[in-house]
Amino acid sequence: MASIKKQESGGWRARVRKGGVSASAVFRTKAEAEAWAARHEHEISARRAGMIPDKTFGDLLARYIREVLPTKRGERPERLRLQRMIDGADPLVSVRLDDIDAEHFASWRDRRLASVSAASVLREWSTLGHACQVAIKEWRWLYVHPMQGVTKPEPHKPRARRISDDEVERILFASGYDYDVIPITAQSRAGAALLFAIETAMRAGEICGMKWSDVDLDRRVVHLPKTKNGYSRDVPMSKEAIRILLQLQGIDAESVFALKAESLDTLFRKARDRALIEGLHFHDSRREALTRMAAKVDVMTLAKISGHRDLRILLATYYAPNMSDVAGMLD
């Protein structure tokens, strides 16, 4: 039987006891608590009836890697996260599916927070959560989401790091990029990619995925058929962005920058370190670009350029104006 009780501290506690098995969790609303209790009772019945397969959570992740990840954009980082978890023999992967519950995931969360940042745990959380969801809806390997009721770690404040003109020039020098010379080497093209990112606010993966067939130099637009959020978008290009593209013509017949995303990240970090610059990521170029563009276009146009469908994320994460500059706009 399930019992639902209101907590003095707020929220609703659902408690399930059936067949000698008990479990409880606290939820924000009574409806959420009732839904969880109903699903949990069903799972207990399914366990007793032998409906949940005799497999471990590691088996679930292996199937997810094999069948689901190939259909997702951004497959590589998710595959690396899950494979690292399996190869490292994290205690969670050995838990049987008919035993797994919120306590196992709470323990996993605490172990990970002891060694990596909250942001890293949240990325892993998202992947594991989706794997469990697929196991419930499509495979019938689970009947209740085992992460439900587990508290997520608090994310850190969004980065506000900006790139100064001096840092850009130092990285370009370290990469061997020259404004007047064709960037033949991969390292120099990484420098060109940084400049292009600051001009367009494009992500590293989008830049590396650019094909000449997607570029319209006359209209000064590059078409991105499919982006991180699954939608296509057209990105306008400044005169400086066009100059960079003209520099790259003839290097590769298909790929504009002739770089893989993982290679660009490695090459950028090498140039950054040689330039003796700390705390800078390639992705910071996106924030720098959008902050500069915000002085030229309205926020709706800015969202169209960046591809953000939620303006709150755009403003909270990527827009970092210098308030001294803003003060000058008020005069």
Residues 249-296 have pLDDT tens digits of 999 999 999 999 889 999 999 999 999 999 899 999 998 998 888 878
Q: Has 308 been annotated as catalytic?
A: yes
Domain-ending residue, one of 123, 139, 156: 156
> Does 198 fall in a domain?
yes
Cα separation, 210 vs 251, whole angstroms: 13
Same domain, 209 and 278: yes
Q: Of all helices (H) and strands (E), which one includes residue 63?
A: helix 57-67
Of the listed 286, 287, 308, 319, which one is catalytic?
A: 308
Which of 217, 199, 216, 196 minimizes the C-alpha distance to 207? 196
Cα separation, 165 vs 192, whole angstroms: 14
- Structural domains of the chain, count: 2
Same domain, 275 and 310: yes
> Does 74 fall in a domain?
yes
Same domain, 142 and 179: no
Mean residue pLDDT of the chain comes to 86
Same domain, 91 and 240: no
| Residue indicated by tokens 């790091």 | 161
Domain-ending residue, one of 111, 139, 156: 156
Same domain, 116 and 176: no
Which of 152, 194, 191 minimizes the C-alpha distance to 175? 191
Q: What is the pLDDT of residue 46?
A: 59
CATH number at residue 77: 1.10.150
Of the listed 203, 272, 286, 287, which one is catalytic?
A: 203
Residue 246 scores a pLDDT above 70: yes
Same domain, 170 and 308: yes
Confidence tier at 310 by pLDDT (50, 70, 90): confident
Averaged pLDDT, 130-144 = 90
Question: Which range of residues forms the domain containing residue 111?
Answer: 52-156
Same domain, 170 and 151: no
> Does 27 fall in a domain?
no
**Residues near 139 by Cβ (< 8 Å), separated by ≥ 6?**
63
CATH number at residue 322: 1.10.443.10
Residue 230 scores a pLDDT above 80: no
Domain-ending residue, one of 156, 174, 204: 156
Same domain, 149 and 238: no
Cα separation, 44 vs 49, whole angstroms: 9
> Does 25 fall in a domain?
no
Same domain, 148 and 172: no
Residue 23 scores a pLDDT above 80: no
Q: Has 319 been annotated as catalytic?
A: no
Residue 155 scores a pLDDT above 90: no
> Does 45 fall in a domain?
no
Same domain, 176 and 284: yes
Q: What is the pLDDT of residue 247?
A: 96
Same domain, 170 and 314: yes
Confidence tier at 127 by pLDDT (50, 70, 90): very high
Of the listed 64, 143, 177, 318, which one is catalytic?
A: 318
Structure-model confidence comparison of residues 147 and 48, the more confident one: 147
Of the listed 28, 228, 231, 309, which one is catalytic?
A: 228
Residue 212 scores a pLDDT above 70: yes
Q: Has 318 been annotated as catalytic?
A: yes
Residue 237 scores a pLDDT above 90: yes
- The backbone region for 234, taken as left when phi is positive above 0, alpha when psi lies in -120 to 50, beta otherwise, is beta
End-to-end CA distance of the chain: 68
**Residues near 63 by Cβ (< 8 Å), separated by ≥ 6?**
139
Same domain, 110 and 245: no
> Does 39 fall in a domain?
no
